[in-house]
Amino acid sequence: MNLSHVTILFLAILFHETLFLAMGDRQFIENTCKGTPSYNLCLSILLANPKSQNANLTGLALIVVDAVKNDGVKTLQQIDALKKSLPELTAALMQCGDVYNTIIHVDVPLTINSLNLGNPKFGEDGMADTTIESQTCERTFKEHGQTSPLTNMNKDMEDVANVARAIIRMLL
């Protein structure tokens, strides 16, 4: 064999191994997502993050928890905008702001720390709290006799937190 044949053979083997590893990682992600309440949501979150390709189960959980944080930040930004455009909703929006600050500054860090320290039970609790808090925000508008402008965002938060919680449960 001359050098060009060896090079071609090496590249073919390298391509095959890379493809095999990528398919294996994808299969791991798919199998993980099958154990969650929202397979498609789980897949979309994990496949959008390049870190998922090399992540173990804890890493996948951390990626979804990061999505919870990102959704919380977006919801807080929306709450701030709504306070200006819909001042009649200020009381309910302020309560929702408190709820989402708790998600971002208490529940998410608690979950991340518990996962990093190898104690996923507390992480599961943090995501369970997150779902309750998003429901609390939604209920706040009803208690004020108002229609929530955050229904979709609250539901999204609940769904993402439930995906994170399901993955964390796999670690127990």
Smallest Cα–Cα separation from 120: which of 166, 171, 69, 68? 171
pLDDT in tens, 75-86: 999 999 999 999
For 85, other C-beta atoms within 10 Å of its C-beta total 8
pLDDT in tens, 25-71: 899 999 999 999 999 999 999 999 999 999 999 999 999 999 999 99
| Contact of 73 with 81, CB cutoff 8 Å | no
What is the pLDDT at residue 4?
Answer: 55
Q: Can you give the three-state secondary structure of 16-79, one letter per residue?
A: HHHHHHHHHHHHHHHHHHHCCCCHHHHHHHHHCCHHHHHCCHHHHHHHHHHHHHHHHHHHHHHH
